[in-house]
Amino acid sequence: MGISNIARFELDLKRDLDRLSEQAEEIRQVAILKLGRRCILGTPVDTGLARNSWQFSTNAPLFRVVQQRDRTGNRALSRLGSKLSRSELGDTFFIQNRARYILTLERGRRFNVVARRVTGSEQAPQGWVRKAIRDTRREVASLAKAV
């Protein structure tokens, strides 16, 4: 009888741990999708290069520069979904943008090619990536509390 109680306890514990792992994976995926989507769709669009330059990798950053333009962000969103579906709990997920002027845009500025200088940008809301991180953290914290 004592062995069956131990076996039952072990099964209950395994079931609970499996459920926790599933919930952690769900929260991880939601967080990555929300943050990636906010970064992509929040990127100011002129030519579409910066918006399409969002890249995603697991366990190591990428160092390539994207050359294709996509004003809609659909290509970057597709890459996000594809990379996320091939990642798993425990992976470090990198969200990065190698467009040479992405930090200028993040600061609410843009490079004016004609004037050959950095100017203010009405398209670039200052700090949209920082805001995306802050908002995603808040949502994930709420989601985790509900679990």
User: pTM of the predicted model, to two decimals?
Assistant: 0.84
**Structure confidence by residue, pLDDT tens digits, 92-145:** 999 999 999 899 889 887 666 566 666 666 666 678 999 999 999 999 999 888
pLDDT of residue 119: 62
Pick the more confident residue, 121 or 37.
37
Tokens read off for 113: 């090619």
Q: Is the pLDDT of residue 1 over 60?
A: no
CA distances from 26 to 4, 23, 86, 120, 124 (A): 33, 5, 14, 39, 32
Q: To which H or E segment does residue 58 belong?
A: strand 54-58
User: What is the spatial distance between Cα 99 and Cα 49, in angstroms, rounded to a whole number?
Assistant: 7
As a whole number of Å, the end-to-end CA separation of the chain is: 34
